[in-house]
Structure 1
Amino acid sequence: MSRFVDRVTISVAAGDGGNGVASVHREKFKPLGGPNGGNGGRGGDVRLVVDPGVHTLLDFHYRPNARAENGKRGEGNHRNGAQGEDLVLPVPDGTVVLSTDGEVLADMVGAGTTFVAAAGGRGGLGNAALASKARRAPGFALLGEPGDQLELVLELKSVADVGLLGFPSAGKSSLISVLSAAKPKIADYPFTTLMPNLGVVTAGETVFTVADVPGLIPGASQGRGLGLDFLRHIERCAVLVHVVDCATLEPDRDPISDVDALEAELAEYTPALAAEVGGPDLASRPRIVVLNKVDVPEARELAELVRADMDERGWPVFEVSTASREGLRELSFAMAREVEAYRETLPEPEPARVVVRPTAVDDGGFTVEEDPELDDAFVVRGTKPERWVRQTDFNNSEAVGFLADRLAKLGVEDALARRGAEPGSQVTIGDMTFDWEPSTPAGMASVMGRRGEDMRLEEDDRVRAHERKQAKRDRRTSLDEFGRHVGDAEDDEEDDR
């Protein structure tokens, strides 16, 4: 038996960025030919894409965990690491993406609509990209950033123009089967339909979709029967159609009470929607009442009795029979008129788009607060400081010095000093806690010394061009003097002879 799943919770993890590499160009007579370490590749994103061929969230029910490919590590000779491949997850049209707190992140309607559920981590810079005038041969590289990891809730809200409401066995599935080419399961026992059925109907030049809502009974908004799991499928409908069984044999039911009971459930469901997602106002949607099964004589008599009460509510009423197909043409054109009126109020359709979760602007700001759990401890929060800490290899003293230089340039050390931090105070940035050793002591302007230096910069024994020229001149002078000495000696020997 096929299963219909329209709400799932999934865990997505984007790929981690690849690490940069610290490498130095080496060849004969050039032991230190300069840094040539490449950058790490960016991690792959996790993307949700609307696929018209997907109609349920069943695949996510069985495979709720998804992870994109990591970026590759950089290599020497300025070779950057490969980027991680994006993971594309197809979802049905009408999927709503929510956070675990209920915040709507994306409403995915339209084939090709894409939502970046988790962004891949940036790759770390290699030492070639970190080289500068002050640090010409960095002996370190930056680590890649981890990709986003989060849980998301996916909800499927069928994209239908007309929603059929009615008690179980009211004839909704039969109505869809005769109005369209859909072939839903039909039986005479309650809860035959366990998933929404969709059908495409053509009335004149208007083509629209019809969907039924299974299991809507009194108390559904409190969880009775199939509960309110399927009520979300009517949120996008332009018109709601009450399908009333006029041939029911249950003594405590009649068409008017059936409609009143279903309207009460919709009224109960609307506040739940508003609290969850600022949901739609279902009370303002146009209604159509369908008095079904009038091919039965007793049902026709009952339909004629209740028609006047339905007309007083201002809703169009149609007497139909799915067996004899009586009244179906008039009903389909009435649905088409309501759908056309609704479509005229909609804005121009937009092309398929990429939906990206909004993120805070990286303005370089940060805050310094006292740690509530420890004495003489502080917590630094900010996008840049936390990212820099994630990129630092704390097993490399030069990389730690580079981090300290960056934090000092950003103003973190001055802010810590103003908050009363002293050398040795514990400072937490992101997931890292360390003892604070300032490069400038609090209240003093003198510099204690540079950190993060490459010792090779201090051991520069290269011969400069002006030194080579001077050595050449010295050698030439020495040769001239030697020649003069030899000439003088020969002259003296000649004189002696």
Structure 2
Amino acid sequence: MTTFVDRVELHAAAGNGGHGCASVHREKFKPLGGPDGGNGGRGGDVTLVVDQDVTTLLDYHHSPHRKATNGQPGAGDNRSGKDGQDLVLPVPDGTVVLDRDGNVLADLVGHGTTFVAGQGGRGGLGNAALASARRKAPGFALLGEPGESRDIVLELKTVADVALVGYPSAGKSSLISVLSAAKPKIADYPFTTLVPNLGVVTAGGTVYTIADVPGLIPGASQGKGLGLEFLRHVERCSVLVHVLDTATLESDRDPVSDLDIIEEELKQYGGLDDRPRIVVLNKIDIPDGQDLADMIRPELEERGYRVFEVSAVARTGLKELSFALAGVIAEARAAKPVEEATRIVIRPKAVDDTGFTVTLEEDGIYRVRGEKPERWVRQTDFNNDEAVGYLADRLNRLGVEDELMKAGARAGDGVAIGAEDNAVVFDWEPTMAAGAEMLGRRGEDHRLEAPRPAAQRRRDRESERDDAQREFDDFDPF
């Protein structure tokens, strides 16, 4: 059974916004008291939150589809709909969020750090919010927006101070088990470690974490063995520790060659050249191992490495190693900025961005793309002529009409707003620029106007009686 997962694809769907309500207030002796339709509730967000108690992405491996709740529709009497509940997804510290193309969206480091993976849809405005001096009684409301749906990739990069790297069966798991309280699986065959193991070490006044990375082999950076899957876990470390087996039984291997091969794989992977290196010659409890360590130590020190001879089995040289690592880590922490905050990639819009584009496609269709026009289209109830006219006014104020004219559009040309798979297509008429004037007093109800004086009402009734009498006198059934 899989117990550790460090890369998953997550399908996050935020909640839809609730629809606005079109309603007219009614009470005794006041049947038309004005618009009182409430707004729809906002859809719930999908938010990733770093939780120190979470160490793997296993839950999202089993359940990759996550959806927040929808907002409730508005109601009469100015009652707004209830907002949808946000969906909070805990992720391990060091989780990187990418889109399906591999672009980094966020790098989540630090307990409590958040990232909104899916934005909930806005609730639609009710007709009470749409009322104005020109539009006293709107007969329509705006629809709620669909929530944002995203397919994202979560990658876990272990946050550790020290990374133990080396060939399979070099003794990395044994070393971390005696330096810390970690209990990794230990056996006498290669690739015993299938997942990174973390341990906490205390040396003097310094507390640091140490990670045991699964064994690397030649070609690990290109995907051989387990290296490519877990090399990402050494990216955040402050110190790289090469664990070299001085008692290997393989005739074609020796510690120096192992070091050169692992260094080449790290170089091919990239981004680790600035990390300090420490070499640990392990298994000196075996006579041949001690002899080989004595032979190669001068050569390694000539290369500039700090070398420590240890035995995880006999627990020899561990204290010196742990305090040396603590010193290097303390220096690395002091050199880092005071705040190593989460990195969230923000791509601001250009200063001269109008918010939409108009392009002429090969089939003669003028396509309008932009956040506002597409959002307004989603909010419009096309079964309501008044709502369609309101959309025309909004597009005109944004400048869509002018851009279509500049692009060469003429009356009767096809215009599409939105992406190809979900666009609203219509035949363009330039007179739409006068949307409010075309439809006259759209959204107004003469019954809601200020009451007329009593004398005027009396004259109107007398005029209506006179008109009715004339119609009766002129009526001839034969």
Could you tell me the TM-score, scaled by structure 2's length? 0.90
Q: 1:384 aligns with which of 372, 381, 392?
A: 372
My pick for the range that moved more, 408-417 or 91-100, is 408-417
- 2:392 touches 2:432 (CA, 8 Å); kept in 1? no
Q: 2:317 aligns with which of 293, 305, 327?
A: 327
Partner SS, residue 177 of structure 1: helix
**In the alignment, what sits opposite 2:431?**
439
Q: 2:280 aligns with which of 273, 278, 290?
A: 290
- Quick check: 1:406 aligned with 2:423? no
**In the alignment, what sits opposite 1:310?**
300
Matches within 5 A, 1:171-182: 171-182=171-182
Shift of 1:359: 5.8
Matches within 5 A, 1:301-380: 301-349=291-339, 358=347, 360=349, 365-372=355-362, 374-375=363-364, 377-380=365-368
Q: 1:223 is aligned with what amino acid?
A: G
Change (3 A) 1:435 1:295: same
Shift of 1:357: 5.5
- 2:165 touches 2:241 (CA, 8 Å); kept in 1? yes
Partner SS, residue 209 of structure 1: strand
**In the alignment, what sits opposite 1:428?**
416
- 2:389 touches 2:435 (CA, 8 Å); kept in 1? no
Cα distance between partner residues in 1 of 2:176 and 2:385: 72
**In the alignment, what sits opposite 1:226?**
226
Q: Which runs of 5+ in 1 are unaligned?
A: 271-279, 475-497
Matches within 5 A, 1:21-40: 21-40=21-40
Cα distance between partner residues in 1 of 2:103 and 2:211: 27
Shift of 1:447: 8.7
Cα distance between partner residues in 2 of 1:203 and 1:448: 76
Shift of 1:417: 2.5
Shift of 1:380: 1.5
Change (3 A) 1:359 1:17: farther
Q: 2:451 aligns with which of 464, 475, 481?
A: 464
Q: 2:385 aligns with which of 397, 416, 422?
A: 397
- 1:93 touches 1:111 (CA, 8 Å); kept in 2? yes
Deviation per CA, 1:251-309: give whole Å up to 9, x if none: 00111011011011111111xxxxxxxxx3x1221111100010101100000000011
Cα distance between partner residues in 2 of 1:461 and 1:82: 30
Cα distance between partner residues in 2 of 1:60 and 1:8: 7
Cα distance between partner residues in 1 of 2:448 and 2:88: 55
- Percent pairwise identity: 63
Cα distance between partner residues in 2 of 1:420 and 1:36: 43
My pick for the range that moved more, 21-30 or 172-181, is 21-30
Deviation per CA, 1:66-125: give whole Å up to 9, x if none: 111111101110000111100000000111111111111111111111111111111110
**In the alignment, what sits opposite 1:489?**
none
Deviation per CA, 1:352-401: give whole Å up to 9, x if none: x79686564896532222122x22x3112222211111110111111001
Matches within 5 A, 1:158-177: 158-177=158-177
Partner SS, residue 176 of structure 1: helix
Shift of 1:453: 4.9
Shift of 1:435: 1.4
- 1:116 touches 1:355 (CA, 8 Å); kept in 2? no
Cα distance between partner residues in 1 of 2:347 and 2:126: 29
Matches within 5 A, 1:14-163: 14-163=14-163
Q: 1:131 is aligned with what amino acid?
A: A
Cα distance between partner residues in 1 of 2:435 and 2:322: 84
Cα distance between partner residues in 1 of 2:114 and 2:239: 28
- 2:256 touches 2:296 (CA, 8 Å); kept in 1? yes
Q: Which runs of 5+ in 2 are unaligned?
A: 461-478
Shift of 1:132: 1.1
RMSD of aligned C-alpha atoms? Answer: 2.3
Change (3 A) 1:426 1:160: same
Change (3 A) 1:173 1:463: closer
Cα distance between partner residues in 2 of 1:295 and 1:324: 6
Matches within 5 A, 1:183-262: 183-262=183-262
Q: 1:23 is aligned with what amino acid?
A: S
Deviation per CA, 1:21-78: give whole Å up to 9, x if none: 1001112332221000000111111000011111001111111111111111011100
- 2:134 touches 2:444 (CA, 8 Å); kept in 1? no
Change (3 A) 1:472 1:354: farther
Cα distance between partner residues in 2 of 1:455 and 1:287: 74
- 1:113 touches 1:355 (CA, 8 Å); kept in 2? no
Could you tell me the TM-score, scaled by structure 1's length? 0.87
**In the alignment, what sits opposite 1:479?**
none
Change (3 A) 1:140 1:295: same
Shift of 1:439: 2.4
Partner SS, residue 438 of structure 2: coil
Cα distance between partner residues in 1 of 2:308 and 2:373: 67
Cα distance between partner residues in 2 of 1:432 and 1:452: 25
- 1:116 touches 1:356 (CA, 8 Å); kept in 2? no
